[in-house]
A and B are shown apart, each in its own frame.
Chain A
C-alpha cells in the first residue's frame, strides 16, 4: 500500500529532512521524491510505502500535518488510489 505526501509552502532549509525523519521513525519507506518550485512556492511530492508503517495512516497523516504546521507548510497525506482513480482511466 502506498501513499502520497505533498508538502507545499515557502522553501527553507530542512523540509525534506524533517518530513523524511517522521517517515523513518514510523518505518515508512520513501519510494520516490519530486520537488518543484511553483512561482515562489515550494512543492514536494513523496511517494511512500506504508505497508509496514508502525501507526495507522490517519495517525501518520496527523503527525505530518503537525510537523507541517510547525514549519508553516501545508502537508497532505493521501492514499495513492485517489490519484490513480481520478487521473487514470
Chain B
C-alpha cells in the first residue's frame, strides 16, 4: 500500500496549502474558420469552439471530483484573431471578440484568450485593425483576453508597436475606468510570447500548434512555502533541493490530470506549464516563499537572488515529472494577485524598478501592476520597451501587464476582486522618454539571435 505519510502529506497540501491544478486550457486552431465574410467567419468560430470545448468544463469538474484534486480554471485559447481578421480587413474586428465571448459563455469557461496579434517584426493587414480595436473589444466583452507580441530574440523589438501599445493600454484602462480599469488587466504585451501558454491573460494558440490541444498549468506556492517552513534553517543548496522535490510532486499531479483530460476529451496532450502562480488567497503567495527564505519583505535587496533560485529549482523539479514542458514555466510575480506582493508594495519595500530586476530571472514580467492614471502613454511604452529588451537579450519570455488606474494617484488602491485581486497604485519614473519612443522603427535582433 502507499505510504500513509505520503497520503496525509497530499491531503495536507490540498486542505491547508492551496495545492491545485490551476488551469486546463484547450487550445483550438481557428485557421479553418477564415472567411472573407466576417459574419460567416464569426459563426464558424463560435461553432467550432462550442463543438470542441462543449465538454471541457464538465470533464474538468469530473476529474476534479474523482481524483479529489481542485482544478480551478477551465479555459480556452485560440489562434491569434489578427490572422483570422486579416481576411476581412475592412470590417471592425470587435465582432470576433464578441463571437469569442459568446462561445466562452456557452462553454462555461472563465476566460478565452487569443484576441491577439504577433507583430514582432512588423504589421500585417489584420494586425493594425486588431490592435486599434483592443480597448473597445475588452470593454464590450467579459471573458476575452488579449495579447500582442512586440518583440523576439530572433526579430528584435518593433518600436512602432511599442509606441502603439502604450496608447492602447492607456485607452483600454480608460474604456473600463468605471470597473477599476479591469480591461487593462486582460491585456498583455509580450516579447518572445510562447505559443502554448495555458495561463491568462497571455494565452493564445500559436500557428505551429495542432488543431486542438490540452495544456495544463500547475501551481502551488503555498506548498513550496510550507515545505521550506518545515525545513527550518538550512543552506541554500538544501532550499533548492526542497523546492525541486515539491515541484516534482506538484507537477506529477498536473501530468496525471493532463493525461486524463486529454484521454477523456480525445484531444492530444500538449504541455505542462511548470509555474508557481499565486492568488490573492492567504497562503498562496510567491512573495511569501521569498520571505520564507529569509527576507524581511519581498523587494528587499536579495530578492532577485532568492527568486532566481526559486525559478530554477521549480523547473528542475518539474521537468522530470512531465513528458512535455512548455508555456511560461517558472515563478509568476503578479503584484495585485499575490497577497505578499501587495503588502510589500503597500509598505514601500517593493518598487517597479525592483520588479523589473526580478523579471530578468523569473518566468514572466511586470505583471498586474497598477500605475497612476495620469501616466503618459510614452512612459508606458518605455516600460514595455525596457521589459522587452530584457526578454530579447536573455532569450526568454517577458511581458507587461500594467493597469493605469484612471483618476487615481500613487498610494491609492485598485480592487478588481476575485483572482485578479487588487493593490496599491505604484509610482513610475516621470522623466520623459518621449523622444526615443517617437523615433519608432525597430531595435535590431541581438547577436544572441545568430545561432545558426
Contact = CB atoms under 8 A, between A and B. Distances in A.
Physical interaction between A and B: yes
Interface of A: 4, 6, 8, 32, 34, 36, 38, 43, 45, 47, 56-58, 61, 74, 76-87
Contacts of B1: 32, 34, 47
Contacts of A8: 8, 11
Closest CB pairs A-B (n = 9): A78-B68, A58-B65, A87-B6, A83-B2, A85-B252, A85-B256, A86-B249, A79-B67, A57-B66
A80 B48 CA distance: 36
B7 interface: yes
Given A34-B4, A74-B15, A83 B66 contact: no
A78 B69 contact: yes
Interface in B1-51: 1-4, 6-8, 10-11, 14-15
A10 to B, nearest CB: 16
Contacts of B386: none
B62 interface: yes
B253 interface: yes
The CB with the most chain A CB atoms within 10 A, among B10, B69, B249, B253, is that of B10
A6 B13 CA distance: 14
Given A6-B7, A45-B4, A81 B256 contact: yes
B15 A61 contact: no
Given A58-B66, A79-B68, A81-B67, A6 B11 contact: yes
Contacts of B65: 57-58, 61
29 contacts: A4-B7, A6-B8, A8-B11, A32-B1, A34-B1, A43-B8, A45-B4, A45-B8, A57-B65, A61-B65, A61-B66, A74-B15, A76-B11, A78-B10, A79-B66, A79-B67, A79-B68, A82-B10, A82-B256, A83-B2, A83-B6, A83-B7, A83-B10, A85-B255, A85-B256, A86-B249, A86-B252, A87-B2, A87-B6
B4 A86 contact: no
Given A84-B2, A87-B3, A38 B253 contact: no
Interface string B53-68: 0000000001001111
Interface SS, A side: strand
Nearest to A35: B4
A40 B15 CA distance: 18
Contacts of B69: 78, 82
Contacts of A77: 68
Contacts of A85: 252-253, 255-256
The CB with the most chain B CB atoms within 10 A, among A57, A76, A81, A87, is that of A87
Contacts of A61: 65-66, 68
Contacts of A76: 11, 14, 68
A40 B68 CA distance: 25
Contacts of B67: 78-79, 81-82
B310 to A, nearest CB: 21
Contacts of B6: 83, 86-87
A56 B65 CA distance: 10
Nearest to A32: B1
Contacts of A87: 2-3, 6, 10, 249
B66 to A, nearest CB: 5
Given A76-B14, A81-B67, 15 more contacts: A4-B2, A32-B1, A47-B2, A57-B65, A58-B65, A58-B66, A61-B66, A77-B68, A78-B67, A78-B69, A82-B10, A82-B67, A83-B6, A85-B253, A86-B253
The CB with the most chain B CB atoms within 10 A, among A76, A80, A82, is that of A82
A76 B255 CA distance: 21
Contacts of B10: 78, 82-83, 86-87
B244 to A, nearest CB: 13
B4 A80 contact: no
Nearest to A61: B65
Nearest to B12: A8
Nearest to A59: B65
Contacts of A47: 1-2
A36 B3 CA distance: 12
A8 B14 CA distance: 14
B306 to A, nearest CB: 26
